Amino acid sequence: MTKKLLIAAFISRNELEQFLKQIYTEFDVESNKVFIYENLEDDSQYVATFYINLNIGEKVFLQNYFKNALIVHKKKKTFYTINALNKLIEKEHNLDKGNIDYKNWKIDWSKFQNKIIINSNNKLVLIGLKRFFS
């Protein structure tokens, strides 16, 4: 039995070809299953998204393969980490940190389309994305 993990990797533009070769060989990802986005906040980077399959109980340490990769989730046209989603809920609903049941709060996903929402240095970061077609 396997589980799928959605990965988002931040890649410098000059490393894209090498990165793609690596995920095709190391993780057996098909080329038509990798999506490349322009990072609208940093034009020296792309954001690549792809799924990897792991056996239940198997672990992968992404940093062993990629410098800047995260396990993310997707809702409509938005990518996010769980920690960043929790920070976004706090911000959107003016909640103080503490014992919050985050599942009880809703997000208007239309406000965050074509973005990746991450935590960086314990701060909420929203990065605009534009699909890149070569």
pLDDT tens string 59-80: 888 888 888 999 999 999 999 9
pLDDT confidence bin for 88, thresholds 50/70/90: very high
CB 134 within 8 A of CB 13: no
Contacts of residue 106, Cβ cutoff 8 Å, sequence gap at least 6: none
Residue 133 has pLDDT above 90, yes or no: no
- The model's pLDDT over 114-125, given as tens digits with 9 standing for 90+, comes to 999 999 998 999
| Numbers of helices and strands, H then E, in the chain | 2, 7
